[in-house]
Amino acid sequence: MTLQEYKFNYYLNLNINKPIILLLHGFMGNINEFNEAIKLLAEDFSYLTVDLPGHGKTQVLAGNQYYKIKPTAQAIINLLDELKIYKCFLVGYSMGGRLALYLALNFPERFYKVVLESASPGLPTATERLERIKLDTQIGRKLTRAFEKSDFAAFLSNWYNQPIFGDIKNHPEYDRMIESRLQNNPQELDKSLSFMGTGCQPPLWENLQYNTIPMLLLVGEYDQKFISINTEMAKMCEFAQIKIISNAAHNIHFENTLAFVENIKSFLSAAS
């Protein structure tokens, strides 16, 4: 596989004296997902951000199978090769965290350390995956209707009513975040959900025991679902440590940017 199947939209801020962080956004995010965190990280790090397939301005030029996690991961590696980035730090949020974990487990030689924010290794049983696919199909229909009715904003409002997002709608910058989400195409988001959703992802639970890369698992104190998932991940992965971030639910880097950045800086700068 080459990069011919994709036309990636990315931004690389490179300082040869600063190590590089690759940051992968979550579902409905885009290249601007980590902008506020980057303002603080840029003091010490170079950084690469990218619109993942189905998001932002990145285009999938081949079939729908190229929205899946395996070809997407290979395409990310190919992009790093093209940019002559042969080893870097890796940060992934939610969907981007699942992709980051897949990358770390399948291309461990390419990453020094990995930070997973509100991520998971997928669903362990076929029954759970099937139920999730059914749920995501329903969400996909809502995205299609939102596109047809030009009512994507209403979809987003309902989306952020989910309990895992805690009190995010009262955040002073919530409207700004929504404006960024509105830059996405609901039809493309549907493809991402259909082919790279949690139900479609090959489960990675059994692979965790073989990981040798230092990992920091960040979860928000109000996100009980992912506290439970990440606690189990840390038990299964010798090189993983979990940190619960106060005053945050699922979207830590948005809700408590300072704590997010402080934990990343401390983890990445510490001796392995």
Which position has the token pair 């990310």? 76
The answer to whether residue 255 sits within a structural domain is yes
Residue corresponding to tokens 């934990």: 263
Instruction: Indicate the pLDDT class of residue 168, thresholds 50, 70 and 90.
Output: very high
pLDDT digit string (tens) for 21-32?
A: 999 999 999 999
- pLDDT (0 to 100) of residue 272: 62
Residue 77 resides in a domain: yes
Which helix (H) or strand (E) segment is 220 a member of?
A: strand 215-220
Q: What gap in Å lies between CA 104 and CA 57, rounded to an integer?
A: 25
In a domain, 197, yes or no: no
pLDDT in tens, 65-114: 999 999 999 999 999 999 999 999 999 999 999 999 999 999 999 999 99
Q: Determine, yes or no, domain membership for 43.
A: yes
- What CA–CA distance (Å, rounded) separates 222 from 161? 14
Is the whole-model pTM more than 0.85? yes
Domains: count for the chain: 1
Tokens of 132: 């999730």
Task: Provide the mean pLDDT of the chain.
Answer: 95
In a domain, 138, yes or no: no
Distances (CA, A) of 175 to 25, 118, 168, 183, 248: 18, 22, 10, 13, 17
In a domain, 182, yes or no: no
Domain of residue 231 covers: 3-122+203-269
In a domain, residue 136? The reply is: no
pLDDT digits (tens, 9 = 90+) for 178-222: 999 999 999 999 999 999 999 999 999 999 999 999 999 999 999
Output the domain CATH number for residue 208.
3.40.50.1820
Q: Contact, 218 vs 241, CB < 8 A?
A: no
Show the DSSP H helices in 86-173 as ranges: 95-106, 126-148, 152-159
Alpha helices, H only, 205-248: 224-236
Q: Express each pLDDT in 229-246 by its tens digit.
A: 999 999 999 999 999 999
